[in-house]
Amino acid sequence: MVALEKKGRSMEIKSVGIVGAGQMGNGIAHVMAQAGYEVRLNDISQESLDKAVATIRLNLDRQVSREKITAEERDSTLGRIRTTMDLPEIAQTDLVIEAATEREEVKDKIFAALVPELKPETILTSNTSSISITRLASRTDRPEKFMGFHFMNPVPVMKLVELIRGIATDKETYDACLKVVQSLDKTAASAEDFPAFIVNRVLIPMINEACYTLYEGVGNVQSIDMALKLGANHPMGPLELADFIGLDTCLAIMNVLHDGLADTKYRPCPLLTKYVEAGWLGRKTKRGFYDYRGEVPVPTR
The catalytic position among 42, 126, 127, 200 is 200
The catalytic position among 26, 127, 132, 150 is 150
Q: Residue 25 is which amino acid? A: G
The catalytic position among 59, 126, 129, 130 is 129
Output the pTM of the full model: 0.88
Residue 12 vs residue 116, higher pLDDT: 116
| pLDDT one-digit tens code per residue, 128-160 | 999 999 999 999 999 999 999 999 999 999 999
pLDDT value at residue 1: 59
| pLDDT one-digit tens code per residue, 81-112 | 999 999 999 999 999 999 998 899 999 999 99
**Alpha carbons 282 and 36: distance in angstroms, whole number:** 34
* Angle between helix 199-215 and 221-231 (nearest 10): 140
pLDDT surpasses 70 at 210: yes
- Long-range Cβ contacts of 50-55 (<8 Å, 24+ apart): 50/83, 51/21, 51/26, 52/21, 52/22, 52/25, 52/26, 52/83, 53/26, 53/78, 53/81, 53/83, 55/26
258 is catalytic: no
pLDDT band, very low/low/confident/very high, at 11 (cuts 50, 70, 90): low
CATH of the domain spanning 15-192, picked from 3.40.50.280, 3.40.50.720, 3.40.800.20, 3.40.50.970: 3.40.50.720
Phi-psi region of 158 (alpha: psi -120 to 50; beta: other; left: phi over 0): beta
**Alpha carbons 43 and 84: distance in angstroms, whole number:** 7
Q: Summarize the annotated binding site for NAD(+) as residue ranges.
A: 20-25, 43, 102, 107, 129, 153, 284
**Alpha carbons 209 and 69: distance in angstroms, whole number:** 41
Domain-by-domain residue ranges, the chain? Answer: 15-192, 201-299
pLDDT value at residue 102: 87
Q: Computed over its alpha carbons, how large is the radius of gyration of the chain?
A: 20
Q: Summarize the annotated binding site as residue ranges.
A: 20-25, 43, 102, 107, 129, 153, 284
pLDDT above 90 as % of the chain? 94
Class of domain 201-299: mainly alpha
The catalytic position among 42, 98, 132, 162 is 162
234 is catalytic: no
